[in-house]
């Protein structure tokens, strides 16, 4: 893997992950936890597709591993696309 694969680059494009979560309460809990990470400015869910897509937008470089660690604490898997 390269450095680019391991980070979320700041800007409006963000990084898209997939998850099997589909319950609104679970998605909101995930969003709350992700928003606590320094640099994360937006978390958007696309529930029109399966698995659910999670788009994370940042205003500085954020490590993908940090995002996945937060999800793992909630027993959720986020797979980067």
At residue 42, the pLDDT reads 97
**Two tokens at 6?**
């391991």
With tokens 């680019």, the residue in question is 4
Q: How far apart, in whole angstroms, are the C-alpha atoms of residue 41 and residue 61?
A: 12
The residues, ordered by sequence, that sit 6+ positions from 44 with a Cβ below 8 Å of its Cβ are 54, 55, 57
- Secondary structure element (H or E) that encloses residue 52, with its range: strand 52-58
Domains and their CATH numbers in the chain:
4-80 (3.30.70.100)
At residue 80, the pLDDT reads 92
At residue 1, the pLDDT reads 61
Tell me the whole-structure pTM to 2 decimals.
0.92
Write out pLDDT tens, residues 26-77. Answer: 999 999 999 999 999 999 999 999 999 999 999 999 999 999 999 999 999 9
């Amino acid at each position: 893997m390269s450095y680019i694969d391991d980070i979320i680059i700041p800007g409006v494009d963000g990084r898209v992950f997939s998850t099997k979560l589909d319950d609104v309460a679970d998605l909101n809990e995930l969003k709350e936890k992700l928003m606590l990470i320094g640099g994360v400015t937006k978390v958007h869910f696309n529930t029109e597709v399966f698995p659910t897509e999670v788009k994370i937008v940042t205003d500085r470089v954020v490590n993908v591993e940090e995002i996945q660690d937060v999800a793992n604490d909630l027993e959720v898997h986020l797979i980067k696309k």
